[in-house]
Structure 1
C-alpha cells in the first residue's frame, strides 16, 4: 500500500511540475507570436493526442512521464523542408534574442511562481509545527556554549550588532533562520523566554562548515525540540530497561539529575554510559509533578556497527511529544513569506551546488527519482500541507537545475543568448554541438551520482 501511495504521489508531483514548467514556455511563446507545434507531457510513444482547432497545437501525453517538452516552429528543425513565407514571422529562430531569452526563461520562472503560490497556500491555510522550545543541549555544542539550559522558547533572532529582530514562530522557522546565518558564517543573537523572563543568547555560527549543513544541522548546533514529554513506548524482553522495571507509559523526567524531554539527548547520554549505572527519574500512572520514582539502570554495552565502538543501550523504545503551535498568516503576508521562502531555498540550492562542485560539500546531497518518490509518499501521508511544501521544494529544485549554465538545459540556451546579445553574433552550430555533448555528459554524470545516492540510501552503505 505504501508503495502505491509513493508511486501515485510521485506521478502527481512530476506531472504537476512538468505541466507548469512547459506551460511557462508555451504561454510566453504564444505571447511572443511563436507558433507552438506540440505540447508533450512525457516522452516516447503517444498515449493520447488532441489538436487544438484554434491554435493548431498538438497536445500529447506520452508513455514515459519523466519530463516533457514544447516544440515550436523553427527553421533549424524542419529536416530541410521549407516553411511557408507567411509562417516565417512565427518561427522561434526568427524572434529577437530577448524574446527567445524570455521564452526559454519562462519555464524555470513558472516553477518559482508555482513554489510561491504553494508556500502561500500552506502559510494561509495554517500548519501545525513544533514550537521553538529547546531541549537541554549536548555539552560543548554551539547551543550549550551560548548558555541554553533547556526549556527556553526562542522568540526572535537578529544578526549581532546589526539589523532588526525577526520573529521566530516555530521550530521550522528557527531552522531556516539559523541555516541562512550559518551559510554566512555569522554570530546571531537569539531572544528566548523562560520562567524568569526574556534573555538574549549569542550563538556563534562562524565555525559551521558547509559539510555540517545537512539534515542533522540543528542537532550539530545542539538544538533539539524540547519542552515535551519523553515516555517509554516499548520495552525489549531481557533488556536493561526490563530488568530495571521500566514499563510502557513511564514518563522520563531526568537522567542522573539532568532534566530530559528529548529522545536524542537521552539516547546520546545513555550511549556514553555503557556499563555505568545511571539513575532515572520516572513519573508513573499519571502522578502529579513532584511524585517521582528513582530507577537505577545499567546500560548494556554493545558494539556500534557504524563506529565499531562500545556504546550503552537500555532496550527501550521512546516517544517524544513536543509542544506544537498553529502557524497561520494573512493573504498578503502569506504571499510575501512564500516569495521569501522560495528565494531563500533557491539561493541555498545554488550555493550548495556550487560548493559541491568545488568540493566543500558532499555529493551525497544529490538525490534522484527514488528519493523523490520516497519523500513524495511520506509527505502525502502526512497531509496536504506537507505534500504542498514538498511540491514547492521540488519545483524550486527543478527551476534552479534548469537555470544552470549547462548546454541541453534551459540555462545553457540562456547563456548562448547572452553571448549573442553581447557580441551580436549567434553561437555557431559547431560550438553548440560541442557544448551540447559536454552538457549531456554532465547531466549523465549528475544523474548517475544521484541514482547511486538513492541506492546507497536504500541499502544503507
Structure 2
C-alpha cells in the first residue's frame, strides 16, 4: 500500500507541477508578475524568493502545485507595475497563459513517449495464435504463426504496438488491413471486418473477442526440484520443451495437463538443449489431490518463453512517434468521451484517484518503462480534461475568452459567476461519479 501511495504521489506531483510550470513560463514571457510557485499544497515547508519577486515554495502535501499571479494592479502601483497584472494583458496573452498548462502536459507526454522509443523496450513479438473458429480473425484468414508487421499501413514491431494500432477500430468498428509474415516467411494481407462494441469496464478483451491472441509461448524449464522425477530422468534448468507424449509444441498448460494423466506411468518428453533435440522418458510421481484424484508430477518449474523484440527508434523517428502517439491518444480520448454521451461507452469507465493510484503502483512494480508510459497517459488525460470547455477549468476560461473575442469586450460579471457555479456543479458530479466507480471496483 505504501509503495502504491508513493508511486501515485510522485506521478501526481510531477504531472501537476509540470502543468503549473507551463502557466508560469508563458506568464513570465508575457510580463505577468508571478507571486508564488508552490510544489505541493498546504503549509509551506521551504521558501525562497528570486530576483523577480517570485516566491518558490515547497509545501507539505506533495500532490501537485499551484501558481499565484498578480491578477489586478496593487493600490498606488506605477504604470510599469500595473502592466504586470494578468488582467491588464491582451486577450491573446491571457489565452496563451491559460492554454499553456494543458499544452505543457501534452508536450510532456510526447517527450516521455519519445524517450521510451529512443531508449527501447523489450516486448513480445506480434506472433498470433490460431484464430478460434467463426471469429472475425478466422474469417479474415488469420493463421497460427502469422506475425503482424503492419496495421492499416502503420509498421509495427511488437504486440504492444499492434494492440495500440488496433485499439480504435476494435472499439469503433471498421475494416482493418493486417500485413503479416506467415510461419513460412511469406508476406500476406488479412482483412478484418470489425463491428463497434459497447465498452464496459469489466468487459472482455477486445483483441481476444476478435480472435487475435498471442501465440502460446513455448514452456522452458526454469527449475528442477532435487529428488524429483524430472531430475531422475535427466531434465535440466533451461531445457525448452518441444513435445510431451503425443503433443507437439505444447503450451505450459498442455504440458501440465498431459503429465498429470500419467501418475506412476512413463511419458516421453522431448526438449531442446543447446540447439539439439533430446528425448527423455519420465515417470511422474503420483500425488493425491484434495479431491482424492491421483495426478502425476515431475518436480520441475515452467516459465513462458515468449519470443521478444527490442523496440527502439532513432532521435527523429522517436520524436515523430512520440508526437503522433500523443495526438492519437488525445483523439481517442475525445472519441470515447463522445461515445459516453451517446451511451456506447459505459459511464462506469470513468476512473478516479483510487483507480489511478492502483495503476500507478502496478506499473511502478512492473518496471520503469511501464511507469513512464503510465505517466505519459495520465499527462494526456490531464491535458485533455483541462481543455474541456467547463467553467473552473482552463478550457472554461478559454471559452470565456472566445466569447470576449466575439463580443469585443469581457463577459458580464454576473455571467461569469453563474458559469462558475455551473462548472463547480459539473466537476463535483464528475468527481462523485469517479469515486463511486472507484469504490464499486474496489469492493466488487
TM-score of the aligned structures, taking structure 1 as reference length: 0.78
Residue equivalent to 1:98? 92
**Residue number in structure 2 paired with 1:277:** none
Contact 2:244 2:270 in 1 (8 A): no
- Any idea what SS the aligned residue of 1:135 has? coil
Matches within 5 A, 1:218-229: 218-226=207-215, 228-229=217-218
Which residue is 2:418 aligned to? Answer: 434
Moved more, 177-186 or 108-117: 177-186
Cα deviation for residue 82 of structure 1 reads 6.2
Runs of 5+ consecutive residues of structure 1 not aligned to the other structure: 159-164, 235-247, 271-281, 296-313
Within 2, Cα distance between the matches of 1:94 and 1:389?
40
For residue 48 of structure 1, what is the aligned residue in structure 2? 46
1-side partners of 2:17 and 2:338: how far apart? 28
Gaps of 5+ in 2: 224-236, 258-266, 285-294
User: Would the aligned equivalents of 2:170 and 2:206 in 1 still touch at CA under 8 Å?
Assistant: no
Give the stretch that moved more between structures: 81-90 or 369-378.
81-90
Q: Aligned partners of 2:316 and 2:395: how far apart in 1?
A: 32
**Correspondence 1:122 to 2:116:** yes
In structure 2, the residue matched to 1:135 is 129
Say if 1:231 and 1:283 are closer, same or farther in 2 by CA, change over 3 A. Answer: farther
- Give yes or no for contact 2:124–2:307 (8 Å, CA) kept in 1: yes
- Report if aligned partners of 1:9, 1:380 keep a CA contact under 8 Å in 2: yes
Partner of 2:164: 176
Between the aligned partners of 2:356 and 2:280, the Cα distance in structure 1 is 48
**Residue from 57, 61, 69 that aligns with 1:72:** 69
Alignment of 1:167-246 (within 5 A): 167-182=155-170, 185-196=173-184, 197-205=186-194, 207-211=195-199, 216-226=205-215, 228-229=217-218
- Taking a change above 3 Å as real, the CA distance of residues 215 and 63 of structure 1, as seen in their structure-2 partners, is farther
Inter-partner Cα distance in structure 2 for 1:366 and 1:256: 49
Partner residue in 1 for 2:433 = 449
- How far residue 5 of structure 1 moved from its aligned partner, in angstroms, is 2.1
Among 14, 17, 22, which residue is 1:24 paired with? Answer: 22
Would the alpha carbon gap of residues 47 and 389 (structure 1) be closer, same or farther in structure 2, given more than 3 Å must change?
Answer: same
Counterpart in the other structure of 1:10: 8
Residue in structure 1 matching 2:60, options 53, 58, 63: 63
Contact 1:136 1:260 in 2 (8 A): no
Preserved CA contact (<8 Å) 1:230 1:318:
yes
Deviation for aligned residue 1:48: 2.4
Aligned pairs for 1:291-330 (under 5 A) are: 320-330=304-314
Show CA shifts across 1:84-126 (max 9, x none). Answer: 5432111111111111000000001111111111111100000
Q: Which residue in the other structure is 1:147 paired with? A: 141
Number of aligned residues? 401
What residue in structure 2 maps to residue 307 of structure 1?
none
For the 8 Å contact 2:389–2:398, the answer to whether it is kept is: yes
SS in structure 2 opposite 1:455? helix
What's the CA shift string for 1:174-206, capped at 9, x where partnerless?
11111233455321221211233222111012x
User: Do residues 412 (structure 1) and 404 (structure 2) align?
Assistant: no
- Structure number with greater Rg is 2
Question: Take 2:188 and 2:281, find their aligned partners in 1: how far apart are those partners?
Answer: 30
Distance of 1:115 and 1:255 partners within structure 2: 51
Q: Secondary structure at the match of 2:56?
A: strand
Q: Structure 1 residue 166 and structure 2 residue 160: aligned?
A: no
Q: Deviations over 1:66-96 (max 9, x none)?
A: 33221111129x7xx6655432111111111
Contact 1:117/1:335 (<8 A) preserved: yes
Paired with 1:215 and 1:409, the residues of 2 have a C-alpha distance of 34
How far apart in 1 are the matches of 2:79 and 2:349? Answer: 51
